[in-house]
Amino acid sequence: MTSHHPDRTEDEVDLLVAAWRQERPDLDVEPLQVLSRVSRLARHLDRARRASFAEHDLETWEFDVLTALRRAGEPYELSPGALLRATLVTSGTMTNRIDRLAAAGLVTRRPDPEDRRGVLVSLTEAGRKRVDDAFADLLRRERELLAGLGQHEQQALAGLLRTLLIPFDATDTGAP
């Protein structure tokens, strides 16, 4: 990805906004300046994620479950209920996902010593290695997406996006 000089950079959104201003001068199209760029960047991020996961033979949902376990820290295990909350899927869907990950040798189930009826889902060594490798690759790709910004610009952008997202995070119930 090449970096352009800020004084002469015009992107697709600039052209889109100019066209809308011409066609609908009665509308304030300023939100497009930010949100169309966020949307376009999200598409590039989605492509990078899919490429990274495919390179490590993982589906997005597999990465999500494995990273939830990995973030839990040693011994890298959670209850199915905790995995549900971390990945925002239904109980039946999670059961199916755990079954598929167990069949692939990426997780195991064991009885929960704190709850006779419960189980704990644990990362296997193969699961930990797979998710660690995929995550490192994803971060490399994400750094490439951000290469046009310096560290301070990245921090400023992160702060601005955080400000926009906090109200949504506070009201997000996880429902589709």
Per-residue pLDDT of 87-117, as tens digits, reads 888 888 999 999 999 999 999 999 999 888 8
pLDDT bin (cut points 50, 70, 90) of residue 173 is low
Closest CA to 103 of 124, 82, 89: 124
Can you list the positions of beta strands (E) in the chain?
77-78, 107-112, 115-123
Residues 70-87 have a mean pLDDT of 92
Predicted pLDDT of residue 161: 95
pLDDT at 168 over 90: no
Per-residue pLDDT of 114-157, as tens digits, reads 888 889 999 999 999 999 999 999 999 999 999 999 999 999 99
Domain chopping of the chain, boundaries:
30-163
pLDDT at 34 over 60: yes
Predicted pLDDT of residue 7: 53
Tell me the CB-side half-sphere exposure of residue 145, using CA atoms within 13 A. 17
CATH architecture entry for 30-163: Orthogonal Bundle (1.10)
Predicted pLDDT of residue 175: 44
Predicted pLDDT of residue 88: 83
Written as one letter, the residue type at 158 is A
The C-alpha atoms of residue 130 and residue 11 are separated, in whole angstroms, by 37
